Copies of this chain bind each other. A is one copy, B any other.
Amino acid sequence: MEVQLQIKMNEKLFLRNPESTELGKKIIQHGIQLVYKNGFELFTFKKLAEDIGTTEAGIYRYFENKHRLLIYITAWYWGWLQYQVVFNTNNIKDPVIKLKKVIQLLATTVVDDDNTIHINEDLLHQIIITEGSKTYLTRHVSEDNKEQFFKPYKDLCAVIANIMLECNPKYKYPRSLASTIIEMAHFQNFFMNNLPSLTDFGKTKDELKVVSFLEDLVFSSIRKT
């Protein structure tokens, strides 16, 4: 059986739907590769156009600017991850086990999903670690937020917060704890690999240690009576 996974994207993120054409899909696919390779600051539409074999103007027909493209692929990732969370925790009754699954999904290397042909989830995961917070750390967060650009992130956060409440309905900070583990799954990974003295697992560089840390953090907070 072949299933093609489609993440429904906010229409305001693009000028022309990149999922609807070959060129559009190439923009996403090569865009991910180039942002991964150069980092967001050194990534340009000119380089992307050369990489694909089209022109700068061609890319601008799909995305207003490179920041919108970054928001697009980030939003896609959060949507995809929420699907993974819902899929992988389905039928699990124990919210503690659910939460452990969530932490594992957040903090460990992503396996490429064959149901999305033109998107490499592992590269995307690396991009989110380094560039993810740049989507909202801008002067125009509020406008972007009004356009609902960050809805997938906020939805995922709400899903995780609800699992936390299942564990302990009296816990006072489910949303903040959820956004904390989402951010820390990435930051501790980044620190471990780049600024190891900011973590306790610089020597091993083992992402399972990040998982242990996050589990310890979450369950000590939630289980308190």
List the interface of chain A (C-beta within 8 A of B): 38-39, 41-42, 130-131, 133-134, 136-139, 141-142, 145, 150, 153-154, 157-158, 172-180, 183-184, 187-188, 190-191, 194-195, 197-201, 213, 216-217, 220-221, 224
Whole-angstrom distance between the Cβ of A54 and the nearest chain B Cβ: 25
Chain B residue nearest to A39 in the complex (CB): B139
Contacts of A134 in B (CB 8 A): 134, 137
Is A137 a contact partner of B133 (Cβ separation < 8 A)? yes
So how many copies of this chain end up in the complex? 2
A133 to B157, CA, bound (A): 21
Contacts of A198 in B (CB 8 A): 153-154, 157, 175-176, 178-179
What 10 pairs across the A-B complex have the smallest Cβ distances? A39-B139, A179-B198, A220-B220, A141-B194, A220-B221, A176-B199, A173-B213, A173-B200, A175-B200, A220-B224
Contact of A173 among B131, B195, B216 (CB under 8 A): B216
Interface of A is mostly: helix
Chain B residue nearest to A221 in the complex (CB): B220
Contacts of A176 in B (CB 8 A): 188, 191, 198-201, 213
Contacts of A224 in B (CB 8 A): 216, 220
Is B177 a contact partner of A217 (Cβ separation < 8 A)? yes
Contacts of A139 in B (CB 8 A): 38-39, 41-42
Contacts of A130 in B (CB 8 A): 137
Whole-angstrom distance between the Cβ of A221 and the nearest chain B Cβ: 5
Whole-angstrom distance between the Cβ of A87 and the nearest chain B Cβ: 23
